Amino acid sequence: MSVYLLRRLLQAVAVVFAMSLIVFVGVYAIGDPVEILISPDADQMERERAIAALGLDLPLWEQYFVFLGKAVQGDLGRSFVFNEPALRLILQRMPATLELAFGATIMALIVGLPLGLYAGLRPDSPVSRGIMAGSILGFSLPTFWVGLMLIMVFAVQLGWLPSTGRGPTREFLGMQWSFLTTEGLRHLLMPAINLSLFKISLVIRLTRAGVRETILQDYVKFARAKGLSPNRVIFVHVFKNILIPVVTVVGLELGSTIAFSVVTESVFAWPGMGKLIIDSINVLDRPVIVAYLMIIVLMFITINLLVDLTYSVLDPRVRLESKGT
Amino acid sequence: MSGILRRNASIAVGAAAVGLVMGLGAAAPQAGAQTLTMAVGAPVTSLDPHYHQLSPNNAVADMIFDRLVNTDNLSRMVPGLAVEWRAVEPTVWEFKLRPNVRFHNGNPFTAEDVAFTIQRVPNVPNSPSSFAAYVRPIQGVEIVDPLTIRLRTATPSPLLPLDFTNIRILDRETHQNATTEDFNSGRAAIGTGPWRVVQHRSGDRIEFERNDNYWGERPAFQRVNYRMITNDAARTAALLAGDVEFIDQVPTSDLAKLRADQRVTLSEITGLRLIFIGLDHLRAPNENSPFVTDNEGKPLGRNPLRDVRVRRALSLAIDRQAITQRVMEGAATPAGQFLPEGVFGHVPELTAPRPDPEAARRLLAEAGYPQGFRITLHSPNDRYINDSRIAQAVGQMWTRIGVRTAVEAQTWATFIGRAGRQEFSAHLIGWGSNPDGSHPLRNIIATANRERGFGASNRGRYSNPEVDALLEQSLVEMDEAKRERIVQQAQRIAFEDVAIIPLHIQTNIWAMRRNLTHTPRNDELTRAQDVRPAAAAAAR
C-alpha cells in the first residue's frame, strides 16, 4: 500500500513539473502580458518600468528558474493583475467552485441513478424511452445556451430565482460558503442545474447500461431463484456491481467540473476559480494560470487515487499493490 | 426536460428546508429603495488608486477618493479637492485646496497629503501600469500653507492640471505604509470621496455606503452594491430580471430590444474612443509591406501605403455611415478625427469623409495601381465593440475599389503584441483620448521617440517632422487659445496626410430600470454618484 502511494506521489511531482514548464512556455508564446495590462497612453519609459517590475525583462529560462526556486518554498508568485499571491487568490475562490461542483454532482447522482435504474429495469416502457431521449438532450445542448435559457425563463420571465451571482455567505471551516443560507441556495440552484444536466445524462446512461448487463448474469438469476425479494436483488446484488463504472466516471467528472466549470461560472457570474482562470488567460496573468493548473493536476491525481481506493472497497478482488506493479 | 427540472427544484427546496431547520438560514440583504445595485462589464482589479491605470479601477477610485481637479461628464476640468489653480510662473503651478475636507476616518485633508500622493504615485511596487508619467514633470513641491501647494516643473507645463485629473489623493497619515493588498482588503480604502467601502470581494462585487460628510453633492443612495458581470447576455438578463437596476457596456445586439422595453431606459453620450485603421508607414516606398501583394500574390516590390493617394483612396472607399448604422446599430458616430465636437483641440472642418468609390478608384489608378492590389487587414476580435465585424465591413468596401482584402481577426493578447512589433500592413485598433487634442497626437501620430515619450502607441510608425514640431510647441504653450490653434493645425496636417484612417467614435451606453436616471460620461466611467432616482432628478 505505501509503495503504491509513494509511486503515485512521485508521478504527481513529475507531472506538476512538466505542467509548469509547458504553461510557462505556452503563455510566453501567446503574447506579452505587459502589452495587455499597460494603459494605452503609457510612454516607452513606463513600459520598460512595468516589464522590469513584473520580472519579464529576464530571459525565459531565467524567469522559469526564479519561479521554480520560489515554488519549492511554497510561493507560486504574485498575480500581475491583483498583486496578491496567486495561490491565495485561487484558494479564496475555491469554495464557490467546490459548492457548485458538489451541488451538481449530488444532483446528478440523486436524479441520474434512479432514472437510470428504472430505464434499465423496464427498457421497453414509454417512460424509459422518454428518459433516454431526455438524456440525449442533456448531452447535446450546449451549456452556455441552456444557462441563458434558464436565466430567461426562471429569472426574467417567472422571476422565481435570482439571475446571476452568488448569495450571501457564512463561514464554515474557515472558508466562506453560500450553501448555508437560503438565499445562497437560491443563487446556487440554477448554475448547479446547468452544470449537472450533462452529468445526469451520463449517470442515467451508465446506470442503465450496467443494469441491463448485470441483470442477465448468473448470480442475479441465482439470487432470484433463491427467493430473495426483488428489492434486495436490485439494491444489493445489482446495484453494488454497477457502481464501479459510475464511481469512476463521476469521480473524474467531479474533477473536470471543479477545474473547468468556466462556461457556467461566466454565464452566471459565479465568482469561482473557473471565472478567475478565464479572466487570467485573457490578460495572460501567468502566475495565476500556472498556479491554477498545478493545483488542478494535484487535484486530479488525488481524485484518481480516491477512485482507486473506492474500488477496493466496492470490489474486494481489486488489490492496490498488485495493480501498481 | 421539465420532469428533470421539477425534480431538481423539489430537491433544492428540501435542502433549503433542512438549512432552515438547522438554523443556518440567513436573511438576505434587503434590497430596499435605499440600495442601488449596479453591474459593470469589466472587472475591477484593485482598490489601490495608484496600482493599475485601468478604466474600471478609475471609476471605483472616483467613488472612494477625490482628485485635485475633477472632470465633469464631458471631461471638462472642474474644481475637486483644489478650488482653483493657476500658473504663477510658466514653470510653477499653484493649487488652492478645499478647506474643511476630511477623509473617511476623520483625518483632515491638507497640502501634506498632496505632497505625499505625488511621492507615492511612482513608487507602487509591482504595478503593471502606473500613473508615474502624470507626475514625472514635477521637479519640486512647495507647501506654502496647509491649503496652498506649488508644483515646479523643468519646462512650462500647460497640461499639468489635466494630468492631475488622473491622480486620486491619499492621506499621508493613513497610507504611509499601505500596500496594494491593504487597499484590496478594504482596510486602507479610505479617501475623501462620496462613498466608503464596506466590503470588497475581488472579481465579484464591492459594497459601498454613503459618506454622509462628503463635501460635494450628496449621493442619492444609502448603499451601493457594485457587481461585476462580465458576460454581456447575463448582464442584460440581470437587468431585465430586476436583480440589478443599472448596467454599463450594453451590447449593441440588445439595443433594439431594450429600447422597446417599457421597464428600462437608456442613457447615452458620444465617447472619446476612436476606432481607426493604422497603416504601415515603417517600410520605405521601395520595400515590401508584410501583408501587401499584387493580385497574383507575389511581392509588389514597393509599399503602396506610403503613397498618400493610396491612403486617401482607402479612406474614401469606406462607407462610415453604413458601419455605424448596420454593424454598430447606431451606437457610434462617423469620424474624421480623434475627438468629438466640444473637446479641446477638435477641428471643426475635419468631418467624416463621404464614401466615394469612384474617386477612390481614380486615386488608385493615379498612384499606379489601376488593378488594385491585395492586402490583409488585421483586427482584434475581443477588444472593441464589434471589432472583427467592423474589419469585415471595411474589407468588403476596400475589395469593392479593387484592393482585395483578407480580414484576419485574432484575440487581443496575440494581436497587440504583433501590432507593437509592426508586423501588420493594416490593423484596426481603438484609442480612448484624454480630453485634449495633444494626447492622441503625442501617442498615435508623433514620431516614436523613447526619450520624449512620443509615439508610444504609434504602431504604424507614421512620422512627420512638421507635426512633431507643432506638438513640441503646443506642449510648452501656456496660452490656452494659442495652444488650441497649434493642436488643431497639427491634426489638420496629419489627417490631410491620412496618417491613420479614422472610422467612428463609439457611443457609451448604459441601461437602467425606469425609476432611475443617469448622467452619462464621455470617459466611459461607471460611477454610482451619477445615478439618481428619476423622480428626485426631475425635482432638482
Q: Which of A36, A53, A268 sits opposite B412 (nearest CB)?
A: A36
Interface of A with B in 136-165 (CB under 8 A): 137-138, 148, 151-152, 155-156, 159, 162-165
Angle between helices B480-496 and B465-475 (to 10 degrees): 160
Q: Are B237 and A164 in contact (CB < 8 Å)?
A: yes
3-state secondary structure B463-485: CCHHHHHHHHHHHCCCCHHHHHH
Give the model's pLDDT for residue B146: 94
CB contacts < 8 A (A, B): 214
Instruction: Please report the residues numbered 87 through 106 in chain A whose beta carbons come closer than 8 angstroms to any beta carbon of chain B.
Output: 89, 92-93
Cβ pair B125:A44 closer than 8 A: no
Contacts of B231 in chain A (CB under 8 A): 266-267, 269
> Which percentage of chain A shows pLDDT scores above 90?
5
Which positions of chain B have pLDDT values less than 50?
1-32, 539-540
pTM of the shown model: 0.84
- A251 vs chain B: nearest CA distance in angstroms? 21
Mutation target vs B (from A30, A32, A35, A41; most B CBs, 10 A cutoff): A41
Query: Is the CB of A37 inside 8 Å of chain B's CB atoms?
Result: yes
Chain A residues near residue B39 by CB distance under 8 angstroms? 269
Which residue among A42, A78, A84 sits closest to B133, beta carbon to beta carbon? A42
How confident is the model at residue B21, as a pLDDT? 34
* pLDDT tens-place values along chain A, 325 residues long: 677 778 877 887 888 888 888 888 888 887 788 888 888 888 888 888 888 888 888 888 888 888 888 888 888 888 888 888 898 889 888 888 989 999 999 999 999 988 988 888 888 889 888 988 888 888 888 888 888 889 888 888 888 888 888 878 777 777 778 888 888 888 898 999 998 988 899 999 999 988 888 888 888 888 888 888 878 877 777 877 788 788 888 888 888 888 778 888 888 888 888 888 888 888 888 889 988 888 888 888 888 878 777 777 777 776 655 444 4
The reply to whether A32 touches chain B by the CB within 8 Å rule is: yes
Chain A residue with Cα closest to B240: A156
Cross-chain residue pair A53–B125, CB shorter than 8 Å: yes
Please report residues of A whose CB lies closer than 8 A to that of B7.
111
Preferred mutation among A32, A82, A196, A265 to probe B, highest tally of B CBs within 10 A: A82
Note whether A292 contacts B: Cβ–Cβ < 8 A: no
* Letter string b/e over residues B341-374, b meaning 16 or more CB atoms within 10 A of that residue's CB: eebbbbbeebebbebbbebbbbbbeebebeebbb
CB B234 within 8 A of CB A275: no
Q: How far is B178 from chain A (nearest CA, A)?
A: 13
d(CA B410, CA A298): 33
The residues, ordered by sequence, that sit 6+ positions from B506 with a Cβ below 8 Å of its Cβ are B271, B273, B275, B328, B331, B332, B384, B385, B430
Residue of A148, A164, A284 best to disrupt the B interface, most CBs of B under 10 A:
A164
Q: Are A134 and B227 a contacting pair at CB < 8 A?
A: no
C-beta atoms of B184 and A82 within 8 A: yes
Tell which A residues from 162 to 191 touch B, by Cβ distance under 8 Å: 162-168, 170, 179-186, 188-189
Taking the CA of residue A269 as centre, how many other CA atoms within 13 Å lie in the half-sphere pointing to its CB?
Answer: 32
Kindly report the nearest CA distance between residue A231 and chain B, in angstroms: 23
Residues of A in contact with B412 (CB under 8 A): 36, 282
Query: How close does chain A come to B231, measured CA to CA in Å?
Result: 6
Of A30, A50, A182, the CB nearest to B25: A182
pLDDT tens digits, A139-186 = 888 888 888 889 888 888 888 888 888 878 777 777 778 888 888 888
Record the cell numbers describing residue B6, joined without a space: 421539477
A35 to B11: CB separation less than 8 angstroms, yes or no: no
Q: Quick check: A297 contacting B, CB < 8 Å?
A: no
Give me B108's grid cell: 483632515
Q: How many CB atoms lie within 10 A of CB A296?
A: 19
Q: Look up residue A317 and give its three cell numbers.
A: 478482488
Which chain A residue is nearest to residue B415, measuring alpha carbons? A31
Per-residue pLDDT tens over the stretch B308-326: 999 999 999 999 999 999 9
Q: What is the pLDDT of residue A296?
A: 85
Q: Which residue of B has its CA nearest to A136?
A: B1
Nearest CA in chain B to A30: B414
Residue-level pLDDT at B19 = 35
For residue A63, give how far its alpha carbon lies from the nearest alpha carbon of chain B (Å). 15
Please check whether residue A289 touches B, CB under 8 A. Answer: no
Q: Are B128 and A38 in contact (CB under 8 A)?
A: yes
Residues of B in contact with A269 (CB under 8 A): 39, 204, 227-231, 234-235, 238
Q: Are A279 and B412 within 8 A, CB to CB? A: no
**CB–CB contact A40 B52 (8 Å):** no
Contact flag B19-A179 (C-beta cutoff 8 Å): yes
DSSP state for residue B68 in the 8-state scheme: S
Distance CA B333, CA B323 (A): 9
**Contact partners, residue A148, CB within 8 Å, separation at least 6:** A267, B233, B234, B237
Question: A60 in contact with B at a CB cutoff of 8 Å?
Answer: no
Binary contact (A268, B234; C-beta < 8 A): yes
Which phi and psi (to 5°) does residue B141 adopt? Answer: -120, 130
Least CB-CB distance to A50: which of B7, B127, B235? Answer: B127
Do A31 and B413 count as a contact with CB atoms less than 8 A apart?
Answer: yes
Chain B touched by A7 (CB under 8 Å): no
Contacts made by residues B19-27, CB under 8 angstroms, sequence distance 24+? B19/A179, B19/A180, B19/A181, B19/A182, B19/A185, B20/A182, B24/A170, B24/A180, B24/A181, B25/A181, B25/A182, B26/A168, B26/A170, B26/A180, B26/A181, B26/A182, B26/A183, B26/A184, B27/A183
Query: How many CA atoms, within 13 angstroms, populate the side-chain half-sphere of residue B364?
Result: 24
ipTM score assigned to the predicted complex: 0.81
- Across the interface, whether the CB atoms of B229 and A30 are under 8 A apart is answered no
Who among A36, A159, A162 is closest to B416 (CB)? A36
Closest Cα in chain B, distance from residue A7 (Å): 39
